[in-house]
Amino acid sequence: MGGVSAPNGRHVTRRPDLFIVGAGTAGTTALYEYLLGHPQVYMSPIKEPDYFCPDVVPDSDFSYGTKLDKYLALFTPTGRHRRVGEASTSYLRSSQAPALIREFEPEARIVIMLRNPIDRMHSMHSQRVALGLEPIGDLEAALDSEAAGFPYLERARVADHVSRWLDTFGTDRVHVIIFDDFAADTEAVFRKVLEFLEVDPNLGPRSFEPRNTSYRQRAAARTLFTSRAAQWAAHGVLPRLIGDNATQRLSRSVRHSRICRRPNRVAPMRAGLRRRLAHELSADDGRLSTLLQRDLRALWFGRPALGAKSAREE
């Protein structure tokens, strides 16, 4: 794992070798934040740099191919960190990201988190409504006008994406987490992640409380973060005092605090819509079941996948 040293010999940056690549709304924020607290793992202060997916996020702040130094500056671990990583959910659906990351770091470890696609779709829609990105408050109505809106169904289909990562890195370097398992026994699943990363599996967080549940930003927080004083502090004073990465971590901590966010109550999905979506997503989840040798159609839809093999230990 290469690095860049300052003239005084102090280690400044290191190339990341851990990538949480998605999927969005499947627990990646929780996993990222649990890893932030592990003394042998260094995670980028910006959760989603989106560096390796120019086909999906062409206007990333880090821009693949032109801003490598800026990207690497996110990674300033100490000698005690055995893994250095980041989490960008856009990587999962990028056709370029697997090959670009493999070229960048052939020995990288890849973590994929998957969730019932219907629940993911429901969560994506609710999140977009709460953030003011989706004008149609009813998911079924939003789906029926999908041609002019957000591609919820397309985002819910992930079998081809998972296959691409497995083909590029192999099963020994790709660790797949099913959200149902993560929610049922977070501590045990997190321990398996640490074992996969070859760091101390006994050093978990003090609490496995849920992270990044559905929320709405408080009006006062929007005013605070757009104020001239806040911009001056975030882009002028704080970086000079504590450094760019520490400023990013502090900003993220404040933005994700209860001071700035309040829970967003999400109405349950209608049974008829759930049946419709289970039918439309059945083929993709059957293929995913075969890829992962686990019957996800039975787990998520209550319908066994024909020919699916039994589950294997992750």
85-89, 181-185, 260-264: the lowest-pLDDT one = 260-264
Among the ranges given (47-56, 112-121, 144-153, 233-242), the one the predictor scored with the smallest mean pLDDT: 233-242
Mean pLDDT of 41-56: 96
Higher pLDDT, 246 or 29: 29
| Mean local confidence (pLDDT), 92-96 | 98
The pLDDT score that the predictor gives to residue 208 is 81
Quickly state the pLDDT bin for 173 (edges 50, 70, 90).
very high
pLDDT value, residue 13: 72
Query: How far, in Å, CA of 169 to CA of 102, rounded?
Result: 7
Could you tell me the two tokens for 308?
Answer: 């699916």
Q: In angstroms, rounded to a whole number, what is the distance separating the alpha carbons of residues 9 and 24?
A: 39
Residue 263, C-beta contacts closer than 8 angstroms, at least 6 positions apart: 213, 214, 215, 216
Checking if the pLDDT of 309 tops 50, the result is no
DSSP line for 29-62: HHHHHHHHT-TTEEE-SSS---TT-TTT-TT-SS
CA distance 35 to 19: 12
Three-state secondary-structure class, residue 157: coil
Chain position carrying tokens 């019932």: 116
The pLDDT score that the predictor gives to residue 264 is 60
Position 285 scores a pLDDT of: 94
For position 8, what pLDDT does the model report? 38
Helix extents (H) in 76-185:
90-93, 97-104, 117-130, 139-144, 152-156, 159-169, 179-184
Q: Which residue has the higher pLDDT, 158 or 307?
A: 158
| Long-range contacts of 265-268, Cβ-Cβ distance < 8 Å, separation of 24 or more | 265/214, 266/122, 266/123, 266/126, 266/214
Peptide bond just before 30 cis, omega within 30 deg: no
Q: What is the pLDDT of residue 181?
A: 97
Whole-number pLDDT of residue 256: 55
Which region, left, alpha or beta, applies to residue 189 given φ > 0 means left and ψ of -120 to 50 means alpha?
A: alpha
- How far does CA 92 lie from the centroid of its chain? 9
Q: What is the mean pLDDT of residues 18-39?
A: 94
What's the predicted TM-score (pTM) here?
0.81
